[in-house]
Amino acid sequence: MEDLIKAIYTTPIIDNHAHPLLVPPAVNTYPLLSITTEAHGDAIKATTTSLSHIRAVKQLSDILGCPPTWEDVVNALNVENAKPHHAWAKRCFEGIETVLVDDGLGNKDEIYDYGWHDRLTRSECKKIVRIEKVAEEIIDTLMKNTELSPDDIFSGTREAFEMVIKDAIEDPDVVGFKSVICYRTGLDIPPHLSISEVREAFTDHITSLQEDGVTHFTRVDGQPMNAYLVNKTAHLIANSDGPKKPFQFHTGLGDNDITLTKSSPSHLQQFIRKYPEVPIVLLHASYPWTKEAGYLASVYENVYADIGEVFPFVSKDGQEKVVREILELCPTEKLCWSTDGHWFPETYLLAIIQMREAFQKVFTEYVQDGALTVPQAIRAVEDILFTTSNNLYDLGLEMKPLPITTDLPSRLLEAPKSDAQVLTKFLTDNPTVKFLRIQYLDYTATSRLRVLPVREATAMLKKSPDLQLSATPALLGLLQHDVIIPGVTASGEYILHPVLSSLKPGPYKGYAFAQSEFRNVDGSEVPLCPRTALRRIVTQAASQNLTFLLGFEIEIVFMSRSATDGSLSPLKNSAGHAYGSSRTLHGNEILDLLEDIYDTLEAADIHLQQWHSEAAQGQYEFVLPPSPPLEAVDMLIQAREIITTVAANYSIRATMFPKPFPMMAGTATHAHMSISSPGGDEKQVWEPFWAGVLKHYRAIIAFTYSNPASYDRMVDSCWAGGRWVCWGTQNKEAPLRRVEGSHFEMKTLDGLANPYFAIAAIIAAGLIGVEGKEPLLLGDAEKDPGQLTAEERKELGITEMFPPDLPAALEALVANKEMVNLLGSELVERYVNVKKAEMEMQGKMETDKRRNWLLERY
């Protein structure tokens, strides 16, 4: 049995049908979700709940060493695809000897040439000619000659088509032909057609197109002409000298352009009998007509069955069933295999992984049941993966076994799967941790937590696969002083689920913290959960091949606390404080504090890129490294906790209050974001995204300036983002500063905002822009927007000002139906109600009392 399993994993694969990979600028043209489904358009949104998608996410996350969520997988893939020399694509193609490439899928300027794929395989790749594509290109060329009549175009098409097919038959790089007539008219191909019938239907169609002013021909889609092309190709193959090149037919599953009932290969019986000299390959396991394919391959000498595409489009059980069904009748020497890989390298990787799993399950069971001996099972594996295709396509390759093991980069090693495994590994690496801080951020941006002793957490995980704490739904309707807002009650139950992949040591010795999400008791998501909201938006962006890198600049003001009454005052010995001043690093206490902060962050695997003093007295900025959005926001919250906790040990208050001193610079949490998916720096990608942000900026402000105190920063010419909705390249007075490429800095975000909501709103607005192909109408403001004349603003298209206060910002949010729909009406309603209750509560305080009250909380 070990020899059989070895054969499954070391037999080189001849991929007898696949499609090219996309060039980087075209990657965002097609949804990455298509790697596990034939659905497209709106139907593709539901694929995330399919067994094939869920399994693919799990398998990819295991290989990539990331959490098993679609967003994390997409982010990890983005990292891999950014590496040089196509390292990730080579990893995905491991095990493939050669690929027979049908390059008729997609536009030629979007895909690599079939020969380019040689760098990913052991042997040179070969070409499969898609006959409909040949005809369409010929007709398109002829139609551009306005002097040709429809009848001339028909005659020219016949002549040119025959010439191209004959040349392909003679071309050693072409090993076969392919037809997608299954999509166009179905597989019930008429065996006899008169040329006059074909001519009449074709010329009528061309005449209609010309009358409509159509000059670009795209699709042969009518039974007479489609049937003519297929019959003509088969006739030319049958009458060619030498070995007959195979003729592949799409059969079975496809997108909704197909008529499923006409996709059964049983409709091809008359055609098969008509051309007994032509080898015919039935592609894609003919699913769900697999038994029909097996029958035809078993009873017709010239018919072969391919069992591709069901890997990874069909569930694990379904794939094993396909292998069993095809083997019910069909000899293994009539079977071949393909990935049907297309566009994304992951389609190849998943197909190979899942095929091997299915083969191991089915063939070992056959051996155990006595249906096959081990040598017979090995022969079957070698036939399907290599020998049949090698003989059928006359490739002349030598079967050299693959290495027994694959040399994977260390970060591709299998990741821990369960909460128990994650926690066990974390505690092994951090043996001094005794307590877990299970944290979440509520609607008032108050960081709340439960402290769970490690002993108790370990005991809980022995009884349950996930770490779960009971929580009341009222926690998402609570104000800073623990009063529940109107309309929210403490009845019912949520589960507080720590995301253990976010575990980091800190903020104090013996502790570790993890950010959490709220779940319903049945495990389903809570739409009101802030972290879930961001994760959902990021996942939606990932389904459109948009991933991001996000980094924050944390501005903190350190204030001294009186040892007698606990009151706060400007940091002592900081009178000479200024931006970047060396004076701010004088004195042991501040140096010890800053070094302690740095060391604690390092211990938590948070590596500062830089830090320096800012303009306000006692103000410093700490720059965090870029990460995917969820990881970046988790890191931001944890870094703040470390900074404030360390400062408290020195009897110093670290505050993010937007304007601690009326006549000094305010504090913010500037967010730097770039589109990290391939092609993200192309203008056609980033312009509509940031145009969407600008269009919906007034609504976004409700999340980024979430407290009445936030609007004290909204002044012109103070490096704070000002009052005008605009953007500018390297303009630090603009609220949205373009750094380079798709990298923008958003300056209108402060420490009182819940960053999960804020970043979700920014990405949501950008997605609306991408989906609507929003043009970037605002010009690049090179000067301070607050200093522009009315004429200059008009010339740049700068016409909108930000809401002047929180009530106006909330009104702008509620009125923005696109944003409300994308973020969720329930979430927006709850957020608005919390903010109104918060304003009512704080509005009753005197100004100084309210300031001190907020200083102590943020």
- Of 831, 609, 591, residue with least CA distance to 699: 831
pLDDT in tens, 684-732: 999 999 999 999 999 999 999 999 999 998 999 888 899 999 999 999 9
pLDDT in tens, 400-452: 888 754 332 222 233 345 788 889 989 999 999 999 999 999 999 999 999 99
Q: Which residues 6+ apart lie within 8 Å of 461 measured at CB?
A: 418, 419, 420, 423, 467
Contact 788, 717 (CB under 8 A): no
Contact 442, 448 (CB under 8 A): yes
How large is the C-alpha radius of gyration of the chain?
A: 32
Secondary structure class of 288 (helix, strand, coil): coil
Q: What is the largest CA-CA distance in the chain?
A: 104
Spatial distance between the Cα atoms of 625 and 635, rounded to a whole number of angstroms = 9
- Beta pairing class for 335-336 and 280-282: unpaired
Provide the token pair at 115: 């020969």
Spatial distance between the Cα atoms of 465 and 497, rounded to a whole number of angstroms = 12
Model pLDDT, residue 406: 39
Model pLDDT, residue 662: 84
Q: Which residues 6+ apart lie within 8 Å of 229 measured at CB?
A: 131, 132, 135, 161, 179, 181, 220
For residue 570, say if its preceding peptide bond is cis, omega within 30 degrees of 0.
Answer: no
Report, as ranges of residue numbers, the positions in the chain whose pLDDT lies below 70: 404-417
Spatial distance between the Cα atoms of 439 and 624, rounded to a whole number of angstroms = 20
**DSSP 8-state assignment for residue 121:** S
Contact 527, 455 (CB under 8 A): no
For 116, 239, 270, 272, 558, the CA distances from 276, given in Å and listed in that order, are: 35, 12, 10, 6, 86
- Of 452, 443, 519, 531, residue with least CA distance to 483: 443
Model pLDDT, residue 417: 55
Q: Given its phi and psi angles, is residue 120 left (phi above 0), alpha (psi -120 to 50 degrees) or beta?
A: alpha
Q: Which residues 6+ apart lie within 8 Å of 459 measured at CB?
A: none
Spatial distance between the Cα atoms of 594 and 760, rounded to a whole number of angstroms = 31
Task: Give percent of the chain above pLDDT 90.
Answer: 78
Contact 30, 380 (CB under 8 A): no
For residue 803, say if its preceding peptide bond is cis, omega within 30 degrees of 0.
Answer: no
Spatial distance between the Cα atoms of 273 and 263, rounded to a whole number of angstroms = 18
Overall residue count recorded for the chain in this entry: 858
Model pLDDT, residue 320: 95
| Strand positions, DSSP E, 94-249 | 96-102, 126-130, 174-179, 247-249
pLDDT in tens, 562-600: 888 888 999 988 888 899 888 888 777 888 999 999 999
For 103, 227, 710, 715, the CA distances from 179, given in Å and listed in that order, are: 12, 10, 63, 65
Spatial distance between the Cα atoms of 537 and 761, rounded to a whole number of angstroms = 9
Provide the token pair at 171: 């071309």
- Of 263, 276, 338, 270, residue with least CA distance to 303: 276
Whole-angstrom distance between the N-terminal and C-terminal Cα of the chain? 64
> Where do the H-state alpha helices sit in 310-441?
310-313, 316-329, 345-368, 374-382, 388-392, 419-429
Contact 113, 139 (CB under 8 A): no
**How remote is the C-alpha of 229 from its chain's centroid?**
39
Model pLDDT, residue 734: 96
Give the DSSP per-residue string, 253-277.
---TTS-GGG--GGGGHHHHHH-TT
What structural domains and CATH numbers belong to the chain?
A: 2-392 (3.20.20.140), 416-526 (3.10.20.70), 527-547+677-853 (3.30.590.10), 553-670 (3.30.590.10)
Spatial distance between the Cα atoms of 475 and 443, rounded to a whole number of angstroms = 9
Q: Which residues 6+ apart lie within 8 Å of 54 measured at CB?
A: 48
Per residue, the 3-state secondary structure of 199-210, as one string, reads HHHHHHHHHHHH
For residue 246, say if its preceding peptide bond is cis, omega within 30 degrees of 0.
Answer: no
Residue type present at position 362: V
pLDDT in tens, 66-96: 888 999 999 999 888 888 888 899 999 999 9
User: Sign (positive/negative) of CA torsion 761, 767, 771, 773?
Assistant: positive
**What is the number of H-type helices and E-type strands within the chain?**
29, 23
Spatial distance between the Cα atoms of 56 and 63, rounded to a whole number of angstroms = 11
For residue 14, what is the enclosing H or E element?
strand 13-18
- Phi–psi pair at 268, nearest 5 degrees: -85, 0
Burial of 434 (0-12, 13-18, 19+ CB in 10 A): middle
Contact 643, 556 (CB under 8 A): yes
Contact 362, 38 (CB under 8 A): no
For 254, 369, 433, 593, the CA distances from 606, given in Å and listed in that order, are: 47, 55, 17, 17
Q: Which residues 6+ apart lie within 8 Å of 316 measured at CB?
A: 51, 55, 354, 357, 358
Contact 294, 325 (CB under 8 A): yes
**DSSP 8-state assignment for residue 68:** S
- Of 725, 699, 696, 693, residue with least CA distance to 811: 699
Query: Which residue in this structure is represented by tokens 């211990």?
Result: 603
Spatial distance between the Cα atoms of 625 and 725, rounded to a whole number of angstroms = 27
Query: Which residue in this structure is represented by tokens 């990787």?
Result: 349
Provide the token pair at 345: 């390298």
